[in-house]
Structure 1
Amino acid sequence: MTHPYEQFKTECAAEIQAMGQDLELKTATQSWIAQANAKKYSYHFEWLGRPIIQYPQDIIAMQEIIWQTKPDLIIETGIAHGGSLIFSASMLELNALCGGPAEATVIGIDIDIRPHNREAIEAHPMAKRIRLLQGSSVAPEIVQQVQAAAQGKQSILVCLDSNHTHEHVLAELNAYAPFVTVGNYCVVFDTIIEDLPAGMFPDRPWDIGNNPKTAVATYLAQNRHFQLDASIEQKLLITVAPGGYLKRVA
């Protein structure tokens, strides 16, 4: 007899797949995202007192991934106000309380960690699980420090969310995706740029044709260690990372 939870999960999987195939629902979702993004929707949420600058749906997806994969190291590029680092650290803290890796940490990398953000992050109760690195995420000396920190780790998750140009994200993928352990994820945020109306970021160098999604396409074409986990975006519908949840399979 099938366990009730397993039956529930089977039903959910079928429903999620159906949502992913619903073109009318997808069109409505894209319309909503374009309108909400123009109002800076993702800027209006905090995690444990720090701006996280993510959609709530993606926050939930990351919680599920962190619980499932039990990472002892999370690598994040892009810090901003530090909300994502605080989120990751708090999830690692919960995992540890529930039998996960006791010494799990998150490394945050940014070319410019502003003093007020550094001060707030370092004063936060979750700071004990956070290590900050200032410098370009693709600079050899930064990558080498992360490589040293990754030695001996059993489960590594990577989140890329800094400069969103094709060139930079592809360089980050080449630098950091190899650290991801089999069964874990490299999550590339803001692939949604490719699906938004052109010109939505007039003060930024990225746009349609030059963004994280185009970088992911190039990387996947050259690398068979990762596959897109389409079930995540089919479940979320509203996400800044369509085509960006990459699972390491080999």
Structure 2
Amino acid sequence: MEMRLDATLAEVLPVVQQGIMDHTTYFGIRTLKNPLDAWVYQEIIVETRPNVIVEIGNFHGGHLLALAHLCDAMGHGRVIGVDQSHHLVPPVVRDHPRVTLIEGDACETFAQVQRLIAADEQVLLIEDSAHTFDNTLQVLRQYALLVQPGGYFIVEDSICHHGLEVGPKPGPYEAIEAFLNENPWFESDRSREHFLITWNPRGYLRKRVPTSGVSRPE
């Protein structure tokens, strides 16, 4: 590394990606997460103190456990993991008292998730599933209904073809653009990209807080 201090960001990003895919773990569990973004997540969680964190796309469940441990540290909150299958998720995640797992397509199981959340609860959403344009936009449209003003909907891997030549094209980045164009109640909070390297460019979506006299959106 000390011999490559002149490397461009375009050269660095694939190296970081390889490290995430091959070596990144949490409590020994494979966790395909950029650690810089994971740090930003804890900043958001401590600031907004969500009652519920919904992560769509869980793989081995390492990040679910990290989220549950953050809730433990705060003494507040619970975590819902949604995925087509949780057969790779180990007992240490399954048995955590703050974790609930729901299997199935995210949009098809939306009503099941919604029943676990009270209308006045603050929800943090993390979308990390198929990354296709259509799926990401559909998840955004449906699950955005759960986010209270001031809350966040994080769309992961918008770096696909916007920093890394990987993944679907069009993908999450284009779905974010489409969602924001049709939904003025959300904005991309680019201050959350303060480490510069993020796998979620434009993906930290914050629901606007209505100003006095402005009704909340349905």
Fold-level similarity (TM above 0.5):
yes
Q: Give 3-state SS (helix, strand or coil) of 1:242's partner.
A: coil
Structure 2 counterpart of 1:122: 94
Please state how far the C-alpha of 1:58 moved relative to its aligned partner: 0.5
1:238 aligns with 2:200: no
Deviations 1:95-133 (A, max 9, x none): 11xxxx3xx21100001222x42544224xxx1000000
Contact (CA 8 Å) 1:73, 1:153: kept in 2 or not?
no
Contact (CA 8 Å) 1:110, 1:137: kept in 2 or not?
yes
Alignment of 1:138-217 (within 5 A): 138-139=107-108, 142-196=109-163, 198=165, 200-201=166-167, 206-207=168-169, 210-217=170-177
Identity of aligned residues (%): 29
Q: Cα distance 1:50–1:229, how it changes in 2: closer, same or farther (>3 A)?
A: same
Structure 2 counterpart of 1:218: 178
Q: Give 3-state SS (helix, strand or coil) of 1:194's partner.
A: coil
Please state how far the C-alpha of 1:181 moved relative to its aligned partner: 1.3
Contact (CA 8 Å) 2:137, 2:175: kept in 1 or not?
yes
Q: Cα distance 1:42–1:55, how it changes in 2: closer, same or farther (>3 A)?
A: farther
Structure 1 counterpart of 2:83: 110
Q: Which has the larger radius of gyration?
A: 1
CA distance in 1, matches of 2:164, 2:81: 30
Contact (CA 8 Å) 1:194, 1:214: kept in 2 or not?
no
CA distance in 2, matches of 1:53, 1:110: 15
Please, which of 173, 189, 192 is the counterpart of residue 229 of structure 1? Answer: 189
Please state how far the C-alpha of 1:40 moved relative to its aligned partner: 4.8
Higher RCO, 1 vs 2 (CA within 8 Å, ≥6 residues apart): 1
Contact (CA 8 Å) 2:156, 2:203: kept in 1 or not?
yes
Give the aligned CA root-mean-square deviation in angstroms: 1.8
CA distance in 2, matches of 1:108, 1:153: 20
Aligned-partner residue type, residue 168 of structure 1 = N
More helix by share: 1
CA distance in 1, matches of 2:48, 2:164: 35
CA distance in 1, matches of 2:16, 2:174: 23
Contact (CA 8 Å) 2:13, 2:164: kept in 1 or not?
no
CA distance in 2, matches of 1:148, 1:186: 19
Please state how far the C-alpha of 1:48 moved relative to its aligned partner: 2.5
1:67 aligns with 2:36: no
CA distance in 1, matches of 2:203, 2:125: 12
Provide structure 1 residue ranges, at least 5 long, that are not aligned to the other structure: 1-26
1:89 aligns with 2:68: yes
Provide structure 2 residue ranges, at least 5 long, that are not aligned to the other structure: 1-6, 210-218
CA distance in 2, matches of 1:173, 1:186: 8
